[in-house]
Amino acid sequence: MERSELAQITARVGKRRSRGLRALTLSCVVLGALLVTQSASAAVAPAGFFGIGGWTIPTTSQAASLSGAGLGLVRAAVGWGQMQTTSSPSSVNWSYTDQLADEAANDNFNLILDLNGCAVWACGTVQAAPTGAELTAYEGFVAAMVERYEPSSPFWAGQTHIPTITWQVWNEVNNGVSWPNPTPAAYAAFLSAIATTIHSVDPGATVIMSGLDNLPTIASGMTLQAFLAGLFQQPGFTQSTAAIAINAYAPSASASVNVLDGARAVALEAGDPSMPTWVTEMGWASGGPPSAFTVSPAQQNQYLQQSWDTMLACAPRWDLQHVLWFSLQDQSAAAMGTADYWGYNNGLLNVNGSPKASYSSFLQFIGAQPLPSAAAEECTLPGGYTIDTTAPHTTILKAPGDTNNTKSQIVTFAATESGQAVTGMKYQCSLDSSAWTPCSSPFNAANSRGGDHTLIVRGIDPQGNIDPTPASVTWLLDLTKPDTVITWHARHVNRANRMKLRFKGLDPGPIGHFQCRIDRRRWRTCASPYTTPRLAHGRHTVLVRAIDLAGNVDPTPAFIRVTVPKR
């Protein structure tokens, strides 16, 4: 969800998922028939695990009341044009974020500030990412904000609680609306630029990526899984975000859980099982126009309880760290100046501030008290209690190949069941026919013995099913330097004063390439047969050295002496 200008234009151009919305296609990573046997530590949510966002920030009284109930985390959107009304940095009005920061400090909760929306004066619309000079101006705005609220800032003088602030870079960039014609490469570059800006001011700051929608809003968008898979392929992406952020909107409680499964499967397939998951938005509307996400007030409450019970109990399945409901209070479509749509009716409170049934359940989840349905003690996925007898299949994702590095020989791997990812999978490894030992991906198989090495890996799922056909990979640790032999050369230079020769390399492994040098000039890549450049009158030395695929270089290059006569 977006706020202020962004929300208004979003509603106009099609973020509404109401009448005419095509049926949602659930993620192919549906593990609802499986049972995960791990148990939650207690039927009480950890502090800050559950949180709230909204179309507006909480009022002073709401913040105090929620804090008293145990609220530990609030997410708020920060629109550039909303705060900086002209190109002049002096036009920034900090009153909105100052109020929120004061509430966080006074009422002892932490913040996620979602940086989203270009300024109309910079981009012509809020529905665009700043580029060029506009990006430079935006980075200046972001840097000023981070400096204002970083932990050592004078802003916090006298405060006993300095809130932790997480900076989220944009929102729902894959749905085709807030970031037109999205591509993983463009967003990854933008994320990297903004993360670099933030860390240049506050090196210890936490930065997370945009929350991703499960399905695109318009045709130019991309699904969560396709977009996230593309992000993992971008260099530096995993260094730019501390977590995978998703907006888990779905037609039912079980479907919202499947959104998490889909995102987790992508991370495992990308070979990065250590990336935690944050749900930065989720919710259901209890009124407004019909949509796939519009239910009755009673159903809204039931879905909150069911989804949050599962997400808390099964948090290790996704390394789930935070879950935030959107939104705290319903938004008036008239106040937004747009037609009504389901997202304005997701609140736990009505427009007039009166509580819905879901508000009481929310308070129980954020407080140190038993949960509404006394769940979150056993992790059972949607679909009921089903014994899993399916054996996993293990795949090698990356292996070192020929190398001369005795300190780093990294192998990454993952295991799936029926082509689907399984959280809680454990692994055993056997290096060079050694006994099976517990291991995890990435695995460093480094050793100093030259020759071939083989790693065998098998997955073991949470129910104890073992892969009957372990994956294996073999590579060469090549510590032998190659030798180079000149097999033939002309007796004299030709009329163009060039010398021709042939050569080969001798090595236990394959030769990667050769380098040639004339006298004391630079080494240059060459291949046999080789013809030298034109040589000047006088005596010359032509040298050749082999370099094998592991990177070993012949320390004693082969050479010939050449005399070029005067002509």
Sequence ranges of the domains in the chain: 4-14+30-366, 393-477, 483-564
Measuring CA to CA, how many Å separate 421 from each of 34, 469, 498?
A: 11, 17, 61
Q: 122 and 138 in contact (C-beta within 8 Å)?
A: yes
* 278 CB-near residues (< 8 Å, 6+ apart): 208, 211, 243, 244, 245, 246, 320, 321, 322, 323
The pLDDT, as a whole number, for residue 25 is: 26
Q: Concatenate the DSSP letters of all residues of 220-272 into one string.
A: T---HHHHHHHHHTSTTHHHH-SSEEEE---SSHHHHHHHHHHHHHHHHHTT-
Confidence of residue 301 (pLDDT cuts 50, 70, 90): very high
* pLDDT range class, residue 13, cuts 50, 70, 90: very low
**Is 29 a residue whose pLDDT tops 50?**
no
Tokens 């952020």 -> residue: 245
**Residue 563, beta-bridge partner list:** 539
Both structure tokens of 92: 């920034």
Over the chain, what is the mean pLDDT? 87
194-212 tens-digit pLDDT: 999 999 999 999 999 999 9
Query: 10 Å Cβ neighbour count for 30?
Result: 19
Provide the pairing of β-strand 320-326 with 277-281.
parallel
* pLDDT-based confidence at residue 1 (cuts at 50, 70, 90): low
497: pLDDT confidence band, cut at 50, 70 and 90?
very high
206 vs 380 pLDDT, higher one: 206
Beta strand spans in 17-70 (E)? 50-53
What's 66's DSSP letter?
H
Query: 301 is written with which tokens?
Result: 């409450």
pLDDT classification of 376: cutoffs 50, 70, 90: low
pLDDT tens-digit map of 524-561: 999 999 999 999 999 999 999 999 998 999 999 999 99
Query: Would you state the pLDDT for residue 196?
Result: 97
Looking at per-residue pLDDT, the higher value among 144 and 268 belongs to 144
Say whether pLDDT at 132 is over 60. Answer: yes
Structure tokens at 556: 């004693």
Closest CA to 457 of 476, 479, 477, 441: 441
Q: C-alpha angle with apex 227: 284 to 215, nearest 5 degrees?
A: 30
Question: Can you give the pLDDT at residue 140?
Answer: 97
* Fold classified for 393-477: Immunoglobulin-like (2.60.40)
Does residue 382 carry a pLDDT above 50?
Answer: no
Instruction: State yes or no: pLDDT of 466 exceeds 90.
Output: no
Asked whether this chain's domains 4-14+30-366 and 393-477 adopt the same fold, the reply is no
Asked if the model's pLDDT at residue 109 lies above 90, the reply is yes
Architecture per CATH, 483-564: Sandwich (2.60)
pLDDT of residue 389: 52
Which CATH number among 3.40.50.10490, 1.10.10.10, 3.40.50.150, 3.20.20.80 corresponds to the domain 4-14+30-366?
3.20.20.80
Helix, strand, coil share (%) of the chain residues, nearest 5:
25, 25, 50
pLDDT, tens digit, 9 for 90 and up, residues 229-278: 999 999 999 999 999 999 999 988 988 888 888 888 788 778 777 789 99
